[in-house]
Structures are given as structure tokens and as C-alpha cells.
Amino acid sequence: MRINPRQVHALLVLDPVDGRPDGAWVIRYRGEAYLIDKGGGNPEPFVSAQRLQPIESRAHARPPEAGFDARTADEIAGELRINPALLSFVQRSDPSFPAPIATFRDGPVWSAEAVERWLPTRQPLAVRDRSQQRA
């Protein structure tokens, strides 16, 4: 099953949480959650004993100021104009391709910022010369 980007939610937690004194991001998708450093690294599965409150309740969790966008494999493939099935090949063949910030049951998600930094530096996929017969 593919990830539905509309169901990926990011929440910025301002208070110290699970050994992260400056807060962290919580990335949620269909009942799964990962706690991620504010810089986007060190993902860990996350289960909170307390419910994270929305901003309207003046709690210590709020939507991000600048926004934290997550990209799915389908969205990245669309930006690259390749078949989504080829994205795993790009991941394996390009060492500069960013690591996913979280991997849910339905697949990985990447930080949009990391993908946008990577796009100008990407190596184009090798294209087979169709006029030549395969070996």
C-alpha cells in the first residue's frame, strides 16, 4: 500500500521529550508515530502516555511555524519524473540521496527540505541506448 500524503501529520513538541531537551517533531501516519530531532534525524518509534494537544488548547505541542513537509516515494518520483518503482534504485545508486525520516508500515517518508537540497545535486539515471541490442 502506498502512503497517502494527506494522512502524514507533523507536530512540533516544544517541551523536552524522551531525552530531547529542545523538543522534537512527532510524525504520525495511521496510528504509527515517530519522534524525530528538530533537525530531522534520529527517528524513534514514539508512544506518548499523554495526548499531544492542538495549539488551540495552549498546550506544548503546536503546528510548525515554517512548516515541516514530508514527501512520500510517489511525490519524489513525480518530482524526478520517474516511475515510483525506480525510486528504490535511485536510493541504492546515489549515496547522496537523503535517508527517510521515518519508515511506516506503508512505506518511508522523507523530509521535503532534505529532498529539495538533494534535487539540484542528483546524478541523472543512466539511460540505455535503445538502438543497441541488450547484451
Q: What is the pLDDT of residue 73?
A: 92
Check whether residue 58 and residue 74 sit in a common domain: no
pLDDT for position 60: 43
Range of the domain at 100: 70-121
Q: Cβ(125)–Cβ(115) under 8 Å?
A: no
Residues 57 and 27 both lie in one domain:
yes
On whether both 87 and 57 belong to a single domain, the answer is no
What pLDDT, on the 0 to 100 scale, is given for residue 75? 92
| Boundary residue ending a domain (24, 46, 62) | 62
Rg (CA), the chain: 18
Using DSSP's 3-state secondary structure scheme, residue 38 falls into: coil
52 and 74 in a single domain? The answer is: no
Between β-strands 107-111 and 70-72, what pairing exists: parallel, antiparallel or unpaired?
antiparallel
Domain-terminating residue out of 21, 45, 62: 62
pTM score above 0.75: no
| Residue 86 to residue 83: CA distance in whole angstroms | 6
Q: What is the mean pLDDT for each group of 10 consecutive residues in the chain (135 residues)?
A: 82 80 84 82 73 42 56 91 89 90 89 89 71 74
Decide if 126 is inside a domain: no
What pLDDT, on a 0 to 100 scale, did the predictor assign at position 15? 79
Burial 65-78 (b: 16+ CB within 10 A, else e): eeebbbbbbebbbe
**DSSP summary character for residue 20:** B
